[in-house]
Each structure stands twice: as C-alpha cells, then as structure tokens.
Structure 1
Amino acid sequence: MDNITHSLVGIVLAKAVQPSILVDAGRDSIQARRQWLTLFWTAVIASNLPDADLVLTRVGKLSKFDYLLHHRGYTHTLLALIPLALLSALGVSFFFGTWRKGQSPSWFRSKLAAASFAAVLLHLSLDFLNDYGIHAFSPFFNRWFYGDVLFIVDPYIWLALIPFACLQLQNRWARGLWATLGLAMVSVLWLGPFTSVGVATAASLWCIASILLQWKRKSFEATLLAFFSFFMIILLFSVASITAQKTVEAASALLNPQVPVEEISVSPAPGNPLCWRAWIRTQEDDDLAYVTRLGVVSLLPSLLSAENCYPGIEKRGTAQLTPPDLVSTSEISWKGNSHLERQVFDLLRQHSCEFRSFLKFSRLPFLQGLSQGQGRVLVAGDLRYDREAGLGFAEILLSQKDDEACAGDSVPWEAPFFRPRRQK
C-alpha cells in the first residue's frame, strides 16, 4: 500500500492508545504530552518503516533489477517485525527523551512496544492485500503470498481515515494537510478515467458519512468508528475479489474444462470497486505454451458492463496481446491473450541468470522482442504491471550473453511461477 495509507493507520492506532496514557500519566501533565508525541511518531514511523528498503535501494543507487528483487524483501517478513518495532520505539523515545527510566514508566514502555508492534504488523498485512504480495515467513518459507484484494492506493480507505485525522488531530497545519489530500482524492475519483458518476457519487457520500459519524465524537468512539470502517472496506473488497476470481475461472472453463488453471491474479480498478482486472494463466497447446488471458470483470453488469470498465487496458502495455479466444459477456470482457512459448522459456531459464532471478519476482511473466537502434532486444516483464508502452518498473532488458551466475542467485525467494497448480 501507499505510505499515506500506512501513515493514516498509524495515526488511528496511536489515538486508540492515547486515552490510556492520559489516564495513567495525568491528562494535562507535561509528561503526558511528551509520551503522546512519542507514541504518535512511533506509530506513524513503525507503520512506514518496512518500506525503508525503498530508501536503501535508492541511496545505494541499485538498479531496477535489484529493486524488483529486494523491495518487500527482508523488511517485510515476520522475522523483521520485532526488530523494526523496537527500532521505531527506541529511536523516537530517544529523540523525545522518554527512553530514560524516570521519564518512561514500565506501563508506558509496554504500551509503546505494543503499538509499535501492531503498526509494523498492520503494514505487512496491508501489503499482503494487494497483488504485489509479500513473503512473510522467509527465510523459513520463501513463498510469495498475494491477497489480490486492494489496489495499491485505495481511495475508500483514504476517505474513511482522513476525516478521522482532520477531526482528531490538534495541529491545524496537519488537519489542513489531510483535508487537502482528502479533497484531492475526491477530485481524482470524479475526474479519473476508471470511475463513473455513480461510483464517484458513492465515494463522495462515503466520505461525508465518515465525517458525520465521527463529528464531535470522543476520541475513543471516533477511533472505533474509523477502525470499523477500515475493516469493513477490507471485508467488502475481499468478498468482491473472491467473486471476481470465481467469475474468471468459470468463464475460462467454458473453453476447455480439461485445461488446468495455473494462476489467477485480480485487482480492482483504481477508485472503482465494481471493475476488476483479471489475468488467468493456463498451459495449453500440448504443453507447448503458457497462455495468460486478460479479462475485465464487472461485479454489477446491470449498472456498469464489463466492456465499459478499464477502457483501453489492452492497448497500453509493452506485451503484444493476440485477440481473445473467449466470448465476452456483460459480466466479463476478454481483452487479449499473452503467449509464452515453453521452449524459449526453458532455454532462458537454463542460460540466463537474469531471467531466472526475474522469475523470483514475476508472477505472470511475459517475453517481448522490441526494436532498439539497429537491432532487437528482448524484454522480460510482468503482466500485472504492464501499464505503459515503454519499459515500466517491472520490465527489464535481458542481456544477450549467457550468464551462469549473477547477484540474483543469492535472493532466496521462491519463483511464484512454479507454485503448485490451483485446484478447481
């Protein structure tokens, strides 16, 4: 998820713990103020600290290839949870001077540690919920896990939690900043290419309802309402994700029920929970090729047909799709097929360390030849993030030479392409 979402979750978490600090330390004491600042910034920083791997890759000037291998890597594991939580709590406590025994009683340290631990855990949980995934159990179990529930920037979580930040924070500059972000998100929903008037209206009403429900509420009551809204969004999107996956799998089975489904990846359209982009991979043509089909699912086709969801999605990517071989309906619109020849795939796995390493990240790989200068180059990419004609963040140029070893060999992640086949 984006760092604004993570920060909002940290703010709500800090406010959930604040009442107990005021009771134990004294509502108007200087000590309570310092402890609140320590708690607030610990929760916000801990909610974002797993993404420190982004800073490290940029400061270290690592390549795009290194970014793909290491982002959501070691800092997004349960093994790193306690060190990251302690680092956040100790660092902020040291800054505000609340780490000393005289200024940090045992009850405060316990609550601070619990809040920091919960913040990191919620970060991992949110990152699991989108189609990028995490490998939370590494190094003991290096498999990727994908929730396929939320888009990486979810407007509805913003519109549920931003009113809380505006109404509960005391700093007027902070309230103004969050209000500006909320208005910007509402504007994007009204003007964005993937939403409709109905969806934008529903989102605006959702934002207004969030404000009214939390207006003049006590901090604890507002916190409960914010968390309730937050988890209800996740629950509703989870049900929608399961529905979209079942719709895609059932439609694919109409072509040939005997062809096993190897992978399904779904993701909601940005700002439109009624529309879902779906990729489904099968192995066909007498095992000569892997075929990955792109479809768009509408959860309410009577209100918005699948054909009108995600306009032009099949024309924007680097991968050149062939025409679809499945019949579209109002519920699901098939956009095209990506073919990955098994012979080429196996040769690259054998001779290209870059490609083998890329497979440790790529869930839905594709290969595409492109013209460059006087010759041709081979691009490896991931269909989940093939959103532009040029090379995107999940697409790399493969070198022309054989390489038996490379830096990617040291990365322990299991290649998601070779996960056990899904059972129908």
Structure 2
Amino acid sequence: MDNLSHSLVGLAVGELVHRTLPAEADPAHQRTRRRLMLVSCWAASNFPDLDLVLTGLLPQPLGYLLHHRGHTHTLLYEVPQALLLIALLWMLWPGARALLRASKPARAGLLAAVGAGFLLHLGMDALNSYGVHPFYPFDARWFYGDAVFILEPVFWVAGAVPLAMTLGSRVWRGLLLGGLAAVLGYFTMRGYLHWGSLTALLAFGAVLTMLQQRVGKSGKLALCAALLGGVGFVAMQGAAMQRGKTIVADHLRQLDPASTLLDTAMTAFPTNPACWIFVSAERDAVAGTYRLRRGMVSVAPSVLALDACPTALAEGIRPLKAQLVVNWSEEAPLARLRKLQTSNCRFDAWLRFARMPALGPDNASDARFSNTPAGNFTTFPLDQANGQPCPTGVPAWDYPRADLL
C-alpha cells in the first residue's frame, strides 16, 4: 500500500486512540498526548517500509523483490520494531517522556497506538496482489489479498477528512479538503478513476464532514465511521474479487479443459469493484507446459462494461462489451523453468518472489507487473555467463509457484 494511505489511516487511528482515553488533568499534558498518539501511530504505520535500506544486500532486482515486504513485514519481527520505536520516542522527546512517567492512560495509549500502527501496515499491505508472508518463520508462504489497488483513494478520504475537520482554522480545513477533492478530480481526468468512483468518494467525504460537524472537534463519530467505511469497502472488494476469480476460472475451463488452473492474481482498479486485471497460471501435465494469461474482467458488465473501465489502467482497450478479454498469453515448457532453477542460483532466488514467472529468450519477469509506468521492475536477466556469484543471505520465502517446480 502507498505510504500516503499508511500515513493518513495511521494518523486517524492515533487521533481515535487519543479521544478514547480519559482526559489528562494537565491541559499541557493533554496536548502532548494528542501529538504523541498521532506521531507514534503514524510512525508505526510506516516503520516496516524502512526495509528499503536492506535492498542493497542482494543484487537488483533481487534486493528489492526479496527484502521489501520482507522480515519487517512479519508479525514476529514487528515486536522488536515496536520496542525500537517506543525507545526512540522516549529518548528523543523530553515532553513525551515526562508525560509517560506521569500518566498511566498515556502509557496505555502509546502501546495501543504503536501496536495498531504496525498491525495496520501489515494488514493494509496484505490487501493487494504483491503479497506478504506475515507468519514467517513459522510459515514461509506468501499470502495475497488481491482485493485493493496499491494506491487507494478510499483510505485517503477516510483518513484525511475527519482529521481536517478537527483543525481550528476554517481556512486550513478548506485548503486541505479542497486540495483532496482537486487531487481526486485530477486522477479522474487522467483516467485512473471512474466518474462514478469520484462521486462515491466525494459523497463519502461529505458524510464524514457532516458527522464531524455534528459531534464537534472532540467527538469520535466521524473517525469511527471512516474506519468502518474502510472496512466495508475492503469487504466489498473482497467479494467482487472472488466473483472475478470465478468468472476467470469458468472462462479458462472452456478455453482449455485439459489444463489445470493453479492460481489467478487479481489487481483491482482504484475505488472500483467492477473492473479488474487478472493474470492466471495454468499447467498442462500431459503436454509438459505451463501457460500464463493476462487480461481484464468486469464482474458487473451490465453496470460497467470493460470499455467503460478507466482508460489509464485498462489494457487492450477497445469498444468492448464482453465480460472478459485475454490480452496476452504465453506458454513455456516446464522443463525449461525447472532447468533454470537448478542451474541458475540467482534465478532460483528470483523464483522465491515470482508468482507469475514469464520466460523470455534472455530474461524473466513476473507478469503481474507488466503494465507499470516505470516498466516491469521484476525483470531478471537470464545470462549465466556474467560472472556473478550465487547471492548470499537469500530469505527463505516459499516459492509462490512451487506447483510448477
């Protein structure tokens, strides 16, 4: 998930933790406690992404693929990260240190805010198709939510609107809310958001604004409604994703009854439960091959046909009323994949990330990421004569496509 979403949701939860605690007797302590809850939950909501400093431990692209969302994104290793963050806050913030010494509610609130922030980060990252392995080292498998786009404006609105409404200055409230609306309008004009999605987001923001105005600056109603709205959105996306996978499976079964569907990776469109990009992996044991397909599917074509999906993310767009279209497919021998794994230690390490391994003549790439603005960041050269030694310190994540190896 993008760090703006992590930050805004973390700030909103920190604000909610502060408002749930009993008030401090000292007004100065009350102000410090609010800042502490906001800062600690915001920091915890972003802290695991400091694993980017570890990407240099392996040659690229392996460093990014295997260390980002790596050990810092596991439940076990969140504990020392949380202790480190609390220690830093204690050492570097004298006002917070004095508050924590004097106030039991502040100490409880700090633990709640930091714990919630770390769990939010892991939970939000688990929602998209990139994947996490939260139970390592007890379970090294990747888990994929496949339900929410990696940049999701619902979380921006849910976090930003209640927080903006707590500001005392109407000018600042207007600037922040107007700026958010302008950003949403910009992404709609650029073809990333559907006009219906923009309408829904503005309506969600308007409801949160009215709720916050009703309860005043100290109320929790808008914050609770924002979080419940976010949870409801995730549940809706999850149901739509499952429907999309069923449609894809039925379609592929008709195309090739002899193949076995192993996996379907789903990528959502922002704030759009109808439009999806899918990448499927099939195996034909008799032919000794596997096939990847990439395409688009609408789970509600009578409401939003494929040619009405936002154009900036749509693939192979054309006047199209079908429910599903396959834009790309590739078939490769299982023997080649297995030989590369056993003969190329760097490729073997790459396979610990690749959920949809597409093999070209000179390189391999994960077909989930073939349509990003910066190109496919997973592309891996297959040249074995470049003198590079086998990488050391490769994380022991399970192979996502162990069923092909």
2: CA distance, partners of 1:285 / 1:172: 66
Task: Name the CA distance, whole Å, in 2 between partners of 1:223 and 1:313.
Answer: 34
Quick one: distance in 2 between partners of 1:169 and 1:85?
29
Contact residue 158 and residue 226 of structure 2 kept, 8 A: yes
| TM-score normalised by the chain length of structure 1 | 0.85
Choose from 35, 39, 42 the match for 1:37: 35
Please, which of 85, 89, 96 is the counterpart of residue 88 of structure 1? 85
What is the SS of the residue equivalent to 1:410? Answer: coil
State the shift of 1:184 in Å.
4.0
CA distance in 2, matches of 1:36, 1:195: 35
SS in 1 for 2:37: helix
In 2, the alpha carbon distance for the partners of 1:419 and 1:170 equals 57
Q: What fraction of aligned residue pairs are identical, expressed as a percent? A: 29
Deviation at 1:84, TM superposition (A): 1.8
**Alignment partner for residue 130 of structure 1, among 124, 128, 146?**
128
Contact 1:352 1:404 in 2 (8 A): no
Q: Secondary structure at the match of 1:297?
A: strand
Q: Please state if 1:359 is matched with 2:351.
A: yes
For CA contacts below 8 A with separation 6 or more, give which structure has more relative contact order: 2
Residues 349, 61 of structure 1: CA spacing in aligned structure 2 closer, same or farther, 3 A cutoff?
closer
The answer for unaligned runs of 5 or more in structure 1 is 317-327, 370-377
Pick closer, same or farther for the CA change 1:410–1:57 going to 2, 3 Å: closer
The amino acid that maps onto 1:214 is Q
Give the drift of 1:4.
Answer: 0.8
- Please tell me whether residue 208 in structure 1 is matched to residue 206 in structure 2: yes
Match of 1:323 in 2: none
Q: Deviation per CA, 1:172-210: give whole Å up to 9, x if none.
A: 897577436522431234213244433333333333333
Q: Secondary structure at the match of 2:144?
A: coil
Contact 1:130–1:147 (CA under 8 A) maintained in structure 2: yes
Q: Which moved more, 1:183-192 or 1:219-228?
A: 183-192
Matched, 1:25 2:35: no
| Equivalent AA in structure 1 for residue 304 of structure 2 | L
Which one of the candidate residues 378, 383, 392 is aligned to 1:399? Answer: 383
With normalisation by structure 2, the TM-score equals 0.88
2:51 aligned partner: 53
Distance 1:386 1:3 in 2: 22
After superposing on structure 2, the runs of 4+ consecutive aligned residues of structure 1 that deviate more than 4 Å are 169-178, 310-316, 388-391, 402-405
Corresponding residue for residue 379 of structure 1: 363
Instruction: Tell me which amino acid in the other structure corresponds to 2:123.
Output: S
Answer yes or no: is the 8 Å Cα contact 1:299–1:331 preserved in 2. yes
Match of residue 368, structure 1, among 355, 360, 365: 360
Specify whether residues 403 and 217 from structure 1 end up closer, same or farther in structure 2 by C-alpha distance, changes over 3 A only.
farther
**By how many angstroms is 1:67 displaced?**
1.0
- Distance in 1 of aligned mates of 2:305 and 2:258: 29
Query: What is the root-mean-square deviation of aligned Cα atoms in Å?
Result: 3.0
Q: 8 Å contact 1:353–1:403 — kept in the other structure?
A: no
Aligned position for 1:7: 7
**CA–CA distance in 1 between the matches of 2:254 and 2:374?**
34
- Say if 1:102 and 1:251 are closer, same or farther in 2 by CA, change over 3 A: closer
